[in-house]
Amino acid sequence: MKFWQSVSFSDPRQLVEIAKIAEEVGFEGVFVSDHLFYPEKLELKYPYSPDGKPAFIPNAAFPECWSTITAMAAVTTTLRFATLVYILPLRDPIVVAKATATAAVLSNDRVALGAGAGWIKEEFDQFGIDFHKRGKLFDESIEVLHKLWKGGIVEHHGELYDFDPLEMSPNPSKPLPILIGGISKPALRRAATLGDGWLGSGQTVDEGVEILKTLDTLRKQAGRQNQPFEAVCPLVTPPAADDYRRLEDAGCSGTVSFPFNYVLGLESTIEQKRAHMEQFAENVIVPLG
């Protein structure tokens, strides 16, 4: 079992030091989160809470993912980085390919693209993107990314994206893993058929086990059961050894330490964050990792 630290909603000025500490105490990697902005009024409810309210306040910090990851990668050597999750259909895939490839090159291939469809309709409206086409945009973006990351002259003529022969550089030495976030049927189908892994949204152990079983079935149906697959299931319950073993037996390869504001409050010092990560490492990573 691999353990990741979420840095969602953290003070951006602390992130470089957080990355150093996370590597020092033995975390596998760090997850950063993504939103371009938070609208004053929301048309839709947050899909991952019973009351439909997001688990973050409107002025929570969402620094730009790839520059943030590159800054943290510059002060570490083994720590991995991924997005949980990057709203892929909100961006042009050529721009995403450039940003992610650059981060991968500068980090020596320690980057994964954790991608989701998004739920804030106002973000899509702002840029004139049809919110209801985001699933199709997502699927075709994955195809475009794989083409561009390979390097050399490539072209694409699809339903939603179209470009003539071109070449992008720099290129990663290997394609970035694409980990698909979400628990809806389309998200699980996408993870099983197009992704290199799956990212949960915060589940109970029972929920996580059931989702992992579903993913296993879908991957077998797609003939992809023998391909590498990284499944990361954040839990909504406190860490417990038996829970992690159940998840691991079901095919889970990693889980996540809560964002700091969940356990330390809305504001905490870097010293408090260090103490929390050291305690998590001592009580969870060392005995179970």
Q: What is the pLDDT of residues 31-61, one digit of tens each?
A: 999 999 999 999 999 888 888 888 887 889 9
> What is the fold, at CATH topology level, of the domain defined by 181-258?
Rossmann fold (3.40.50)
Q: Is the pLDDT of residue 111 over 80?
A: yes
- pLDDT for the residue 240: 86
Question: Which contacts (CB < 8 Å, 24+ apart) does range 264-273 have?
Answer: 266/57, 267/11, 270/14, 270/17, 270/18, 270/21, 273/10, 273/14, 273/18, 273/21
Q: Is the pLDDT of residue 191 over 80?
A: yes
Positive or negative: CA dihedral 134, 189, 140, 172: positive
Q: CA-to-CA distance for 196 and 193, rounded, in angstroms?
A: 9
pTM value is: 0.96
- List, for residues 216-258, the tens digit of each pLDDT value: 999 999 999 999 999 999 999 887 889 999 999 999 999 999 9
Residues above pLDDT 70, as percent of the chain: 100
What confidence tier does 72 reach under pLDDT thresholds 50, 70, 90? very high
Domain extents in the chain: 181-258
Q: CA-to-CA distance for 246 and 250, rounded, in angstroms?
A: 6
The amino acid at residue 13 is R
Q: Tell me how many degrees the CA angle 160-166-171 measures, rounded to the nearest 5.
A: 100
- Nearest Cα to Cα of residue 80 among 145, 4, 170: 4
- Secondary structure of the chain in HEC code, one letter for each residue: CEEEEECCCCCHHHHHHHHHHHHHHCCCEEEECCCCCCCCCCCCCCCCCCCCCCCCCCCCCCCCHHHHHHHHHCCCCCCEEEECCEEHHHCCHHHHHHHHHHHHHHCCCCEEEEEECCCCHHHHHHCCCCHHHHHHHHHHHHHHHHHHHHCCCEEEECCCCEEEEECCCCCCCCCCCEEEECCCHHHHHHHHHCCCEEECCCECHHHHHHHHHHHHHHHHHCCCCCCCCEEECCECCCCCHHHHHHHHHCCCCEEEECCHHHHHCCCCCHHHHHHHHHHHHHHHHHHHC
Give me the mean pLDDT over the 270-282 stretch. 97
- List, for residues 196-206, the tens digit of each pLDDT value: 999 999 999 99
Q: CA-to-CA distance for 174 and 3, rounded, in angstroms?
A: 23
**pLDDT mean across residues, the chain:** 96
